[in-house]
Amino acid sequence: MRSLSGATILITGGTGSFGNRVARHLLDLNPAQIRIFSRDEKKQWEMQRRWPQFRYIIGDVRDAGRLDEAMSGVQFVFHAAALKQVPSCESYPLEAIKTNILGTQNICTTARAAGVKTVVALSTDKAVKPVNAMGTSKAMMEKLVCSQNQFGGSTTFCCVRYGNVMGSRGSVIPLFLRQIQENTPLTLTVPHMTRFLMTLDQSVDLVFHAMTMAQGGEIFVRKAPACTVQTLAEAMRRKYSPQGTQHPIQEVGIRAGEKIHEILVNEYELQRVSESETYFNIHPEYRLPKELTPQALGSEYSSENTRRLGSFEEITPLLDAAGVVEEYT
């Protein structure tokens, strides 16, 4: 991996679930400084009480001038700042454009100007064949980032893409826990809806893999199991509710902009991947390696056809590994 020892690192959206976890992992690599860039002073204050050794910078990725100041002297950038709540982006799609697309362009421009070595941007399965404003804006975010190296340059840009991160902001797990604590029914959208399951630590492993492997323009995907929301709800009530399997579950219907199944790699991307046991590396059209591992034409990698977790015994270890706390979010 590119050495982070003695480096200055900027994490945008650094007070979010991912930002917190990656910052902790980065401490073990002896960087010179970790800068936490976000727009919420309350979350920064709460995070600073626990991690005073980081430098905290109030700002918004929509503000290119503020990014110029924050990125001065930075070698590595983890770009996690985003609007990622599907319902709010459906109501206010222009806001998703301003943050997820225009804010990302600001990141790319300022990183080049500052001489940053590597930028790793975080994306989502909802960017693949998007059906909602959040996913559409993230798809354009990927295009912006992955286009940066087609004409050269000293800064390496790449993306990572993952599905549901357990316990993170927007994950259904904290919602189910609150409903269990409040003794209210667990609310499901559609019982047979499937979602990928990945822990925060696994998402951090993915960005480190990206930083290790990136030549410029790739999208990196970590393979993950999936389960139905019905199976997840049943496992959580059995594990956490005093009522156990008697805790009620209520079906409320699909929300605007939601898919039944999520796709992590589409059929076109699967023709330009290199694959290992754990990862797909999606290579850009302008830099295809000699060795590829294309899949069958028309096939996709989705939460419907990945390894399916179907029992309490299979899901419980992941719940234990993930934890359940939404820190500063």
Indicate the pLDDT class of residue 329, thresholds 50, 70 and 90. very low
Q: Helices H, strands E: what count in the chain?
A: 11, 15
Q: 299: which residues sit within 8 A by CB, 6+ positions away?
A: 267, 270
Q: DSSP characters for 271-286?
A: GGEEE-SSEEEE--TT
Question: Does 129 qualify as catalytic in the annotation?
Answer: no
Name which of 171, 101, 186, 212 is nearest 326 in CA terms. Answer: 171
| Domains assigned to the chain | 8-162+199-222 (3.40.50.720)
**Which region holds residue 4: left if phi is over 0, alpha if psi is between -120 and 50, else beta?**
alpha
pLDDT: is 290 or 267 the higher one? 267
The active-site residue, picked from 126, 138, 223, 259, is: 126
Q: Which of 251, 189, 246, 224 is nearest to 305 (CA)?
A: 224
Average pLDDT over residues 122-140: 95
10 Å CB burial of residue 51 (0-12, 13-18, 19+) is middle
Number of C-beta neighbours around residue 276 at 10 A: 11
What is the rounded CA–CA span in Å between residue 319 and residue 173? Answer: 9
Per-residue pLDDT reduced to its tens digit, 85-99: 888 999 999 999 999
pLDDT digits (tens, 9 = 90+) for 208-259: 999 989 999 999 999 999 999 999 999 999 999 999 999 999 999 888 778 8
The predicted-structure confidence for 63-93, as pLDDT tens digits, reads as follows 999 999 999 999 999 999 999 888 899 999 9
81 within 8 A of 12, measured Cβ to Cβ:
yes
